Chain A
């Protein structure tokens, strides 16, 4: 709540929510038009996957974790970016370090899951916009969209929280996380992403991967935070 009422933060967050909601929906609509017009061949879907990767990694989706999970942790004073001594107050109150760390993960995890579900749902709604479109094929693009935003919003958000808990000066670490996320997404080819998305094991694999990434973030972030100086 304290962060939300910070000057200018709420309008920026709401603006971002509206922009990405519209983007997710319009991408779904675009997919249904595209597949209806050019057919739903594997090549077309792979080409669309390529577009999505570019969108997700061209610095566009990266704004979401930056605004939601990085901005509240920094302070800009006299034009310089510095870490906010955010943990001093809660850790002087009757709160254990573990509780504080868990509350941070709960906020990042909960809000990012809601965003991923919202953006995926809007994308699927866009696909359903044209009844004559190839829904089964278009459904693959919804899965791909889900996988990409899960990594770029949820996993990156949780890793950011882990980084801010684990290191006093975490901005370099945060930059590294973004860089690695972008590079990884670029390195994995559209064909591989297509194959994963069309696999019958997509949902179990996606669920296990996301949960595993969350557990690694939570355990490592909390472990280091409980042992470091504030």
Chain B
């Protein structure tokens, strides 16, 4: 399988934050959902891949090439959408498209116009006249108009209404069909990742606490609830984010099938969503008053 992005032991120090020893791999044809709380380090990871931030140590390869040495070649094959608008606000959409197109050898003007039409964006309008959601649509149209093999999206669905969010996700599904494109998609809206992600990478306080295929995660993980007396009988390595209250305890069980076999009806096992997994992984274990 071709590796599209490979980060190995990447560290980046800031004044008040450290991205610590991050390693991740994205294979060709897969969608990686980057999930984590605010300030967890998702945008830092994306900026490091884009070489907007310089790593302190470790290595980052994109399409098998060092992302600093082969910056130009790599970016020719990347489409990007950031959480904030980076295009000149005072220009008309068609003008921005014309400027951007000159940088890409594979720019497809017809497709660009098609996406503008699809997203109901008037090419003659100035970017400053658009709402945040419309600007995001424009950024998506640009990112999809040059046959990118890797699309990097940092919170692309934030500020979008549910109908358009679904449209974007359907569009990405369509792009992924031929298996040639890969996507890194960071989002707070975990329901979006439930719909699209093949691999979930959970970032917390600058560390990757979890990175595994979505299907495997859904097969193995369960939210487990049971009486207090049971805690001592369960292998602690099975549990994540244990919270004890006066009625019992709840935790994310990393061995859901085995727990069901061993404890049967004495526990309640529920299928988790990505949000549940994120919460259990990032919250501190301990007593809960209620």
Please give the residue numbers on chain A whose beta carbons come within 8 Å of chain B beta carbons, in ascending order.
Answer: 1-2, 5-7, 85, 88-89, 91-97, 99, 227-230
CA distance A94 to B99 in the complex (A): 13
CA distance A230 to B100 in the complex (A): 20
- Asked if A94 and B54 sit within 8 Å, CB to CB, the answer is no
Interchain CB contact (< 8 A) of B54 among A6, A7, A96, A227: A227
By the criterion of a CB under 8 Å from any partner CB, how many residues of chain B are at the interface?
Answer: 23
- Asked if B53 and A229 sit within 8 Å, CB to CB, the answer is yes
Tell me the chain B residues, 64-93 only, with Cβ under 8 Å from chain A.
71-73, 75-76, 78, 80, 82, 86-88, 90-91
21 A-B interface contacts by CB (under 8 A): A1-B99, A2-B91, A5-B90, A5-B91, A6-B90, A88-B52, A89-B88, A91-B51, A92-B50, A92-B52, A92-B82, A93-B103, A93-B104, A97-B51, A97-B71, A229-B47, A229-B52, A229-B53, A229-B54, A230-B47, A230-B52
Name the A residues within 8 Å of B78 (CB-CB).
Answer: 92
Name the A residues within 8 Å of B75 (CB-CB).
Answer: 92-95
Known: A6-B88, A93-B104, A94-B103. 8 other contacts (CB 8 A): A88-B82, A92-B50, A93-B75, A93-B103, A94-B73, A95-B75, A229-B53, A230-B53
- Total contacts A-B at CB 8 Å: 54
In the complex, the chain B residue whose C-beta lies closest to that of A1 is B99
In the complex, the chain B residue whose C-beta lies closest to that of A75 is B89
Indicate whether A96 sits within 8 Å of B71 (C-beta atoms), given known contacts A89-B87, A91-B52, A229-B52: yes
A130 CB, nearest partner CB in chain B, Å? 46
Name the B residues within 8 Å of A88 (CB-CB).
Answer: 52, 82, 86
Indicate whether A95 sits within 8 Å of B91 (C-beta atoms), given known contacts A228-B54, A230-B52, A230-B53: no
Name the B residues within 8 Å of A93 (CB-CB).
Answer: 75, 100, 103-104
Name the B residues within 8 Å of A95 (CB-CB).
Answer: 72, 75, 103
In the complex, the chain B residue whose C-beta lies closest to that of A89 is B86
In the complex, the chain A residue whose C-beta lies closest to that of B76 is A94
- Asked if A2 and B99 sit within 8 Å, CB to CB, the answer is yes
In the complex, the chain B residue whose C-beta lies closest to that of A99 is B72
Name the A residues within 8 Å of B51 (CB-CB).
Answer: 91, 97
Interchain CB contact (< 8 A) of B72 among A6, A96, A228, A230: A96
A7 CB, nearest partner CB in chain B, Å? 6
Name the B residues within 8 Å of A2 (CB-CB).
Answer: 88, 90-91, 99
Interface string of B205-246 (1 = CB under 8 A from A): 000000000000000000000000000000000000000000
B76 CB, nearest partner CB in chain A, Å? 4
- Asked if B72 and A94 sit within 8 Å, CB to CB, the answer is yes
CA distance A96 to B104 in the complex (A): 13
